[in-house]
Amino acid sequence: MSRLTVLTGWITSIRPRPRRWPVKRVGGARGGDRRAEGRTLREKGSATLEAAIIVPSLLGIGVLLVFAGRSALAQQAVEQASWEVAREASIARNATTAQINAVTRGEALLADLGCVRSTVAVDTSGFAVPPGQPAAVAITVTCTMNLGGLVFPGIPGEFTFSAHETSPIDTYRQHS
């Protein structure tokens, strides 16, 4: 080998080579067609298909979580209203006043919650018990709410929430 060939080979090895664009290979020892990113041509469009499957699923899960949260908050609000109504009825002096106070307070609370239809059932039979003996007032509150803002297949627009509460009447109350 001549000295010129060795020198020329060394010079060509340090000279920058022109950039080549990746070439698709068909077949080959590795099997299958290959692209520059290392993915096979059979995988072309798989990211779009994955997104078409995953995105609606995640949106559906999100809507269900919002629905579960809204319905849990509505149930808690109805239970709180039933507790307040029961307390309002138990501090009355007689059954008639208890009935009127409970229904009035219950309708006001349920209207504030946004109920489409509501009922307040009051059991004032505890007022018939003579003073000195334990007694209670029982309240059942029912509220139908419109959760139609959550448009999703399988979720109806209106839901009914109900709560039952009892509140003790003062054992040593005075009859009026």
Which is more confident, 150 or 71?
Answer: 71
Chain centroid to Cα 96, Å, comes to 41
Rounded CA gap, 80 and 175, in Å? 28
Q: Residue 40 above 90 pLDDT?
A: no
Q: Look at residue 97 in the predicted model and tell me its pLDDT.
A: 92
Which phi and psi angles does 87 have, rounded to 5°? -65, -40
Q: Render pLDDT for 77-130 as a digit per residue (tens, 0 to 9).
A: 999 999 999 999 999 888 999 999 999 999 999 988 888 899 999 999 998 888
Q: Look at residue 67 in the predicted model and tell me its pLDDT.
A: 81
Q: Render pLDDT for 5-17 as a digit per residue (tens, 0 to 9).
A: 555 555 555 555 5
